[in-house]
Structure 1
Amino acid sequence: MNYQQIIFDVDDTLIDSAATENFALQHLFNAHHWHLTTKLHKAYHTYNQNLWRKLEQGQITYDELSRITFHDFLKNNLGIDVNGLAIMQEYRTFFAQAHQLLPGVKDTLRLAKKLGYRLTILSNGETFIQNHRLELAGIKDYFSLIVTSQEAGFSKPDKRIFDYFFRQTTIGPENTFFFGDGLQSDILGATNYGMASIWFNHRHRNNVLKLQPLYEVDNYARFANILSNKL
């Protein structure tokens, strides 16, 4: 297959999600003088991941996620009643400042461009935040197209966000593959759209959906090798 275009996810594919969450949550709690224990941080991570899975499965909307995340979490764990949307906006302000890249990202993007691939992004996130973080990380200029769920009005794996994406590019899905860490959002979304994918499984999660991407890799060195020799 003559692949000409790569779609990248952002969070935990290009930018380290764990580092981002740590930074944003710690700064939020410090700003309000709330005590963030290791146990509480782990509880938030699990809770937040479950909410994002519900979003990807269409059980809640992005606006609902924004309203309930901190309202429910702080009330249930610290007995604090807050305006959930206001606290989420504070959190996202800190989130937008975090931009630690995963190891090997820049070298691989440079290689992919040298090999002639058109590099693009499709992210479940807010347009300003994702663009700002990519710029802070020094990699925004590698991408000729950046599409977010906020802009498209739909979230991965919904087929409609892929429809929106491909209306913005001249290269079709048959000449495109998706590179992302999200099994439910990225790999399932690409599979359902009839598009090839490479699963960046650097967190070593189980393939509970039994999907069959072109490849599964756990580091950028392996991905770079595939780009150079296989595709």
Structure 2
Amino acid sequence: MKGGGFPLSGYKALLFDLDDTLLDRDLAVEKIFSIIVDKYYGDVHHLQRNEMLEKFKEYDKRDYGNGDKTNVLESLFAEFPPNNRLPASSIQNFWNTYFPNCFSIDQTTINMLDTMKQLQVKVGIITNGLTQRQNAKIRNTHLNHWFDTVIISEEVGLRKPDKRIFELALQRLQVLPEEALFVGDDIEKDIGGCQNANIKGIWFNPKRCKNGTEIEPFAEMDSIARLVNYFT
């Protein structure tokens, strides 16, 4: 972990990104792909299924951050014609219904959040996305049990990296910028954004991606469990 050795005992709040930080979005994409195959393709040869999955991930990545996921499924259906085609007009509803149920929270994250609550650290979520979908993810994984505030971009009319969305979280938690830390996977939207609000940013980088920007995170970690080590 880079930037280690910093004492967190003086901090009062810990803010998190949602997708790819608290929740494993890659795993959720694989799960919704399996639902799509079962519903609209039926039996698919193993090799073709793998090829379809890689293409689906590619389409999803290309469309990441776009609330309307119609292009993702339409691209898959165009390249791999299904037995039973889902109408384009129904794709967004399909995605909103099934995708939030594909998320789960791992025990390591649960243990970390339990520790934060025991230490009376205020915790919050700041996430870009559609209100309905993000709330469903949080509700289905029971994350709302731990968090003091949840800020969703569509709901508040602000998106990361806009510093105002981070400032709103500080206002809600009644803490100063120097009393909070933010943890997120996106070096520009998460870390750059929180730094614009004078909040120290911890880059969650489990895949150990290279930082191709000039943004210098306060710290970098490849496991969410490492947060606990600085509180105990």
TM range (shorter): 0.7 to 0.9
Matches within 5 A, 1:108-147: 108-147=112-151
Query: How far apart are residue 146 of structure 1 and its match?
Result: 0.8
CA distance in 2, matches of 1:7, 1:85: 36
Task: Letter of the 2:158 partner, please give it.
Answer: F
CA distance in 2, matches of 1:37, 1:171: 49
Identity %: 24
| 1:10 aligns to 2:22 (yes or no) | no
Query: How far apart are residue 208 of structure 1 and its match?
Result: 1.5
Q: Decide whether the 8 Å contact of 2:100 with 2:140 is kept in 1.
A: no
Which is greater in Rg? 2
Which region of structure 1 is more displaced relative to structure 2, 158-167 or 89-98? 158-167
| 1:93 aligns to 2:91 (yes or no) | no
Specify every segment of 5 or more residues in structure 1 that has no aligned partner in the other structure, as ranges: 56-61
Which region of structure 1 is more displaced relative to structure 2, 94-103 or 34-43? 34-43
| 1:78 aligns to 2:80 (yes or no) | yes
Matches within 5 A, 1:1-231: 2-33=10-41, 35=44, 37-52=49-64, 55=65, 62=66, 65-75=68-78, 77-78=79-80, 83-84=87-88, 86-228=90-232
Tell me the TM-score normalized by structure 2.
Answer: 0.80
Which residue in 2 is equivalent to 1:58? none
What is the aligned length? 218
Q: Decide whether the 8 Å contact of 2:126 with 2:150 is kept in 1.
A: yes
Q: Decide whether the 8 Å contact of 1:16 with 1:100 is kept in 2.
A: yes
Q: Deviations over 1:59-105 (max 9, x none)?
A: xxx45x44433334533x23689654521320231111123224510
What value does the CA root-mean-square deviation take over the aligned residues?
Answer: 2.6
Q: Deviations over 1:17-64 (max 9, x none)?
A: 122111112112322226572122112223322332xx4xxxxxx45x
Tell me the TM-score normalized by structure 1.
Answer: 0.80
Which region of structure 1 is more displaced relative to structure 2, 189-198 or 127-136? 127-136
Q: Deviations over 1:145-165 (max 9, x none)?
A: 011122122332233433444
Q: Decide whether the 8 Å contact of 2:188 with 2:215 is kept in 1.
A: no
Task: Letter of the 2:219 partner, please give it.
Answer: Y
Q: Deviations over 1:95-127 (max 9, x none)?
A: 111232245101111111222210111112233
Task: Note closer, same or farther for the CA distance 1:79–1:92 as it changes in structure 2 (3 Å cut).
Answer: same
CA distance in 2, matches of 1:73, 1:191: 38
CA distance in 1, matches of 2:189, 2:37: 29
Query: How far apart are residue 189 of structure 1 and its match?
Result: 1.8
Q: Matched residue of 1:179: which SS?
A: strand
Task: Letter of the 1:15 partner, please give it.
Answer: L
Task: Letter of the 2:193 partner, please give it.
Answer: G
Q: Decide whether the 8 Å contact of 1:159 with 1:192 is kept in 2.
A: yes
Task: Letter of the 2:63 partner, please give it.
Answer: L
CA distance in 2, matches of 1:125, 1:111: 28
Task: Note closer, same or farther for the CA distance 1:32–1:73 as it changes in structure 2 (3 Å cut).
Answer: closer
Q: Matched residue of 1:157: which SS?
A: coil
Q: Decide whether the 8 Å contact of 1:13 with 1:180 is kept in 2.
A: yes
Q: Decide whether the 8 Å contact of 1:66 with 1:84 is kept in 2.
A: no
Specify every segment of 5 or more residues in structure 2 that has no aligned partner in the other structure, as ranges: 1-7
